[in-house]
Structure 1
Amino acid sequence: MPKFIVERNIPGAEKLTAEELCGISKKSNAVVDGLGVPYVWHHTYAAGDKLYCVHEADSADAIYRHAKEGGFPADLVAEIKSTFGPETANAAT
């Protein structure tokens, strides 16, 4: 299944409390369970006024459906084509 990065503009995202994050997570999990399609939410980063989420789904349409049914914004949905980090510098060419 393709992986996607989802950018959500949420003012004050970095200041969400543990209780608020718990509620958001419960809502997201419930929506995922009700979609009836293969779907995995991996994790989310809160930075400034944005949330950056990593999800797996068959298509971007499933990501937008999750957002709509959960009442979450999905301002950008982009398929992740590659992942790299410091260790990539040591990869054989």
Structure 2
Amino acid sequence: MPQFVIERQVPGAGKLSESEIRDLSLRSLEVLREMGPRIQWLHSYVTEDKVYCVYLAPDESTVREHAQRVGIPADRVSAVRRLIDPVNFS
């Protein structure tokens, strides 16, 4: 299944409390269960004012549907074309 990186503008994201992060994560997981196996959340990176999430999904519209149903932004959705890591060049 294709992999996507979602960039979310979330002012103050780096200052969210554990409780706030847990609540958002649980809501996301609830919607993922409703949408079935066609979309999967792999992990997210939180920076000062953005959250970058990595998902598996059949297409961009499925990723955007998930964001809309959760009520979170999906400012940029980019399909991953290639993964590069140090192992590739060892």
What's the TM-score once normalised by structure 1's chain length? Answer: 0.92
Matched, 1:7 2:29: no
> Which residue does 1:21 correspond to in 2?
21
Q: Secondary structure at the match of 1:74?
A: coil
Q: How many residues are matched?
A: 90
What's the counterpart of residue 85 of structure 1? 85
Q: Distance in 1 between matches of 2:66 and 2:73?
A: 10
CA distance in 2, matches of 1:42, 1:33: 14
Give the number of the structure whose alpha-carbon radius of gyration is greater.
1
Contiguous gaps of at least 5 residues in structure 2: none
Instruction: Please report the RMSD computed on the Cα atoms of aligned residues, expressed in angstroms.
Output: 1.0
Q: TM-score, normalised by structure 2?
A: 0.95
In structure 1, the partner of 2:44 is 44
User: What SS class does the counterpart of residue 55 from structure 2 fall into?
Assistant: strand
User: What does residue 64 of structure 1 align with?
Assistant: 64
Seq. identity, %: 36
The CA distance in 1 between the partners of 2:88 and 2:58, in whole Å, is 27
- Could you list the runs of 4 or more consecutive aligned residues of structure 1 that deviate by over 6 angstroms after TM superposition? none
What amino acid is the match of 2:75? D
Q: Which runs of 5+ in 1 are unaligned?
A: none
Match for 1:19: what amino acid?
S
